[in-house]
Amino acid sequence: MCNLYSNTMAKDAMRQLFAVDASHDALGNAEPLTAIFPKGMAPIVGLNDDGARWLRHAHWGFVMPQLSKKTGKPIQPKAVNNARDDKLRTSGFWRTSFDERRCLIPATSFCETKGHNPATYVWFGVTGEGKRPPFALAGVWRAYKGNYGGGDLREMITSSMVTTTPNDLVKDTHPDRMPMILAPEDYAQWLTGTPDEAFALIRPFPAERMVIHQSGEGLKSDHGQTQF
């Protein structure tokens, strides 16, 4: 699973990499994000009804409302930020989004932790040109409108990233799951293919095409800054 990633791409670079027309870019003044946690807002790429790609901010995690056991009133909801590949087509929580609303999640690295007290933070990325070559994680999205705890009514796009079995590089840190990285040549198939065609893409990204950018205690932000 993944509970932390970064996206330090400029929005112009995102538009170019993911073939999004400027007229469908709703990011505004998007800042580099060195630490994105569940319930945070971050860019995703999806499709309009006419098939045009868009860039929007999305809440990381499908919203799962909760009620207080003491008062019965709404409290801060859960954010279900990882979608297991083996649940995408069998769980009603994920199935419609996988069939109809797949997305790309722009990233420049993702983090997994190893051990406890203290934990080691390991930041993974892909090989390529530049210090943090960009890539896309496979995701699903859906709209949410409702109570967000504390009486607040919110309307927003929410996303979750697909996870699969880890490759040899990642499994030493997280032996069970890793985010699904898409090769650039597979972006279109993930977004526009049939459910069968999209599901056929799910596999661990090749370990030889990945790197560890940094590893150590207290590295809760890419580029080595601790954030809380």
- Residue written as tokens 């801060």? 76
- pLDDT of 26 reads 95
Look at residue 226 and tell me if it is in a domain. no
Percent of the chain with pLDDT over 70: 96
* pLDDT at position 122: 96
Compute CA 179 distance to the chain's CA centroid, rounded to the nearest angstrom: 8
Q: Could you tell me if residue 227 is inside a domain? A: no
Confidence bin at 146 (pLDDT 50/70/90): confident
Q: Which two tokens stand for residue 183?
A: 């090769």
Q: Which residue has the tokens 């297991």?
A: 84
Span 18-26, average pLDDT: 96
Would the pLDDT of 227 be above 60?
A: no
Is residue 150 in a domain?
yes
Does residue 222 have a pLDDT over 80?
no
Strands 153-164 and 53-60: parallel
Instruction: Supply the CATH number for residue 11's domain.
Output: 3.90.1680.10
Residue 94 forms part of a structural domain: yes
pLDDT tens track for 89-119: 999 999 999 999 999 999 999 999 988 888 8
Confidence of residue 228 (pLDDT cuts 50, 70, 90): very low
pTM above 0.85, yes or no: yes
Count of structural domains within the chain:
1
- SS3 of the chain: the string is CCCCEEECCCHHHHHHHCCCCHHHECCCCCCCEEEECCCCEEEEEEECCCCCEEEEEEEECEEEEEECCCCCCEEEEEEECEEECCCCCCCCCCHHHHHHCEEEEEECEEEEEECCCCCEEEEEEECCCCCCCCEEEEEEEEEEEEECCCCCEEEEEEEEEEEECCCCCCCCCCCCCEECEECHHHHHHHHHCCHHHHHCCCCCCCHHHEEEEEEEECCCCCCCCCCC
CA distance 98 to 143: 13
Average pLDDT, the chain: 92
Query: Is residue 228 a part of any domain in this protein?
Result: no
Question: Is there a domain that residue 78 lies in?
Answer: yes
Decide if 225 is inside a domain: no
In angstroms, the CA 91 to CA 83 distance is: 10
Please give the residue range of the domain that contains residue 18. Answer: 5-217
pLDDT at 199 over 60: yes
**CB distance 138 to 202 below 8 Å:** yes
Look up residue 28 and give its amino acid: G
Q: Is the pLDDT of residue 74 over 60?
A: yes
Tell me: pLDDT of 151 over 70.
no
Residue 222 included in any domain: no
Give the pLDDT score at 219.
75
